[in-house]
Amino acid sequence: MTQLLIKNTYLITMNKNKDVYENGNILIEDNKIKALGNIDINLINHDCEIYDAKGKILMPGFVNTHVHLSQQLGRGIADDVDLLTWLRDRVWPYESSFDYEDSLISSTACCVELIRSGVTTFLESGGQYVDAMVEAVDKTGIRACLAKSTMDQGEGLPKAWQKTCKEELDTQIDLFKKFNNSSNERVKIWFGLRTIFNNSDELIVKTKELADKYNTGIHMHIAEISDEIDFAKQRQGLSTVEHLNNLGILGSNLLAVHTVWLTNRELYLFRLNDVKVSHNPAAAMKVVLGFASIPEMLDKGIPVSIGTDGAPSNNRMDMMRDMYLTSLIHKGRTLNPTVVNAEKILEMATINGAKCALLDSEIGSLEIGKKADMIILNPNTIHCLPMHNPIGNIVYSMSSENVESTICDGKWLMKENEIVVLDEIKLLEKVKSQAEKIRKKANINLISNFNIIK
């Protein structure tokens, strides 16, 4: 048995009682939490690794509930454009130019950025090389719910991505059987649905049936833009959510991403069916989706979590920045300074994220028997001190630069700002060289308004 004791830390548990230890300790044994608080010395083995975190904060790792691993190398290729241009003219041509190695580099780079921002679990919306994503997750030690991006209809689809409903379903079944619970159970395979633009009713219904059969989740962009609602009404006479409700897809294993254009009745449908929500504030503003009714969802008891989306739409995988934006946006939208407060933000980024990942019995809070997924924050920076209110400082003052160490499944992924699972310098070189090759291959030419002198 391998043990790690982290001592003398400001320990935020995020358990039901919201217990916080001002000078706490936590004992990890293998990949689980053995004890916390004031620990019986008899539980500690003679060869236990001891780490003194005095003056620092220990809390559960963040759960980022909406990520696009295969878009990481496309950071900066789609700035200042509308969503459909972003998708059809920039991101899809870029991403469809990938091969396995490209996807592996992109996925690995994204995982490392997530680790640096304190994320220990993420939910991948869906790419084409899920096997490369699995390899990246295995290599970096992070936890993930991965899905394939499935599309059996729609305008602007790259030729290589044009599949039938049966092909998409068969592929997802194969991926589930091959990879679910791999990498010491850190990998979960979900079923992906892109959008109502790109998914036939047959694919939607059969995906729901399979997800229920295999007891896994469904990841789908829902009510993202007003054009989507118009499209659904023209095709079916109903809005996206009303149509999905008629199809029977709304349920506790559905993660609805963005959910900007919802009516009050549709919020009640979400609550009635225990639908989970991923809120992505930075991406929603950058690509001009609109403002989701997050305070209203929380008031109705809908589980709402936070996601960053992908590198071309955010453009950072910085969970702490999206946490900050989540609180401020909705205070401004509602003109109410008390909504989505700092405590609620921490819930959304940890235990609510775990609920949305269908993993709240295993992660999301620091409790005996749960998986040892946690982060150490160093508040000793000029932009964070003084620290009159540590919870408030985490949300309103800190950034990913304050994440000093990241532990997942009981193992150090980053220790004192150093990535320990791989050679980050070599990875950066691969990112720089490969990203430019792919952009040229995809024939994406970016025009600057500045006078570039070569």
- In tens, the pLDDT along 342-367 reads 999 999 999 999 999 999 999 999 99
Give the model's pLDDT for residue 104.
97
Q: Which amino acid is residue 310, in one-letter code? A: G
User: Are 190 and 172 a contacting pair, CB within 8 Å?
Assistant: no
Residue 423 phi/psi, 5-degree rounding, is: -85, 100
- Note the helical H segments in 311-389: 311-314, 319-334, 342-349, 351-356
Q: Which amino acid is residue 121, in one-letter code? A: T
User: In the chain, which residues fall in CATH 2.30.40.10?
Assistant: 3-60+372-419
Give the model's pLDDT for residue 445.
86
Question: What is the rounded end-to-end Cα distance, in angstroms, of the chain?
Answer: 58
Question: In angstroms, rounded to a whole number, what is the distance separating the alpha carbons of residues 214 and 35?
Answer: 33
* 162 pLDDT more than 90: no
Collapsing DSSP to helix, strand or coil, 254 comes out as: strand
Collapsing DSSP to helix, strand or coil, 316 comes out as: coil
User: Are 260 and 240 a contacting pair, CB within 8 Å?
Assistant: no
- Whether the upstream peptide bond of residue 379 has omega within 30° of 0, thus cis, is no
Give 447's pLDDT tier (boundaries 50, 70, 90): confident
Question: pLDDT tens across 69-123, in order?
Answer: 999 999 999 999 888 888 888 988 888 889 999 999 999 999 999 999 999 999 9
Neighbours of 3 (CB within 10 A): 18
Check the CA dihedral 208-213-214-215 and report its sign. Answer: positive
Question: In angstroms, rounded to a whole number, what is the distance separating the alpha carbons of residues 35 and 413?
Answer: 21
What is the phi-psi region of residue 311: left when phi exceeds 0, alpha when psi lies from -120 to 50, beta otherwise? alpha
Give the model's pLDDT for residue 276.
99
Collapsing DSSP to helix, strand or coil, 177 comes out as: helix
Closest C-alpha to 147, from 183, 188, 198: 188
Residue 320 phi/psi, 5-degree rounding, is: -70, -30
* 159 pLDDT more than 90: no
Question: pLDDT tens across 29-69, in order?
Answer: 999 999 999 999 999 999 999 999 999 999 999 999 999 99
Instruction: Specify the higher pLDDT residue, 443 or 396.
Output: 396
> What mean pLDDT comes out for the span 401-409?
99
> What mean pLDDT comes out for the span 303-332?
97
User: DSSP class of residue 69?
Assistant: G
Question: In angstroms, rounded to a whole number, what is the distance separating the alpha carbons of residues 159 and 148?
Answer: 17
* 269 pLDDT more than 90: yes
Name the helix (H) or strand (E) containing 64: strand 62-67
Helices then strands, counting H and E runs in the chain, come out as 18, 18
Give the model's pLDDT for residue 82.
85
CATH hierarchy code of domain 3-60+372-419: 2.30.40.10
Closest C-alpha to 168, from 122, 126, 112: 126
User: Are 350 and 18 a contacting pair, CB within 8 Å?
Assistant: no
* Dihedral angle, C-alpha 326, 228, 145, 143, nearest 10 °: -30
State the helix-helix crossing angle for 424-441 and 100-116, rounded to 10 degrees. 130
Specify the pTM. 0.97
Question: In angstroms, rounded to a whole number, what is the distance separating the alpha carbons of residues 367 and 17?
Answer: 11
Closest C-alpha to 192, from 152, 157, 147: 147
Give 207's pLDDT tier (boundaries 50, 70, 90): very high
Residue 25 phi/psi, 5-degree rounding, is: -135, 155
Question: In angstroms, rounded to a whole number, what is the distance separating the alpha carbons of residues 375 and 383?
Answer: 19
Give 157's pLDDT tier (boundaries 50, 70, 90): confident
* Dihedral angle, C-alpha 343, 349, 352, 353, nearest 10 °: 180
Closest C-alpha to 61, from 274, 371, 334: 371
> What mean pLDDT comes out for the span 124-132?
93
User: Which CATH code of 3.30.413.10, 3.90.550.10, 3.20.20.140, 3.10.20.30 fits the domain covering 62-356?
Assistant: 3.20.20.140
User: DSSP class of residue 61?
Assistant: P
Q: Which amino acid is residue 322, in one-letter code? A: D
User: Are 72 and 104 a contacting pair, CB within 8 Å?
Assistant: no
Neighbours of 325 (CB within 10 A): 19
| Tokens matching residue 71 | 């878009």
Contacts of 170-174 with C-beta under 8 Å, sequence gap 24+, read: 172/147, 172/148, 172/207, 172/210, 173/210
**Residue 270 CA to its chain's centroid (Å):** 20
User: In the chain, which residues fall in CATH 3.20.20.140?
Assistant: 62-356
Share of the chain above pLDDT 70, in %: 100
Average pLDDT, the chain: 96
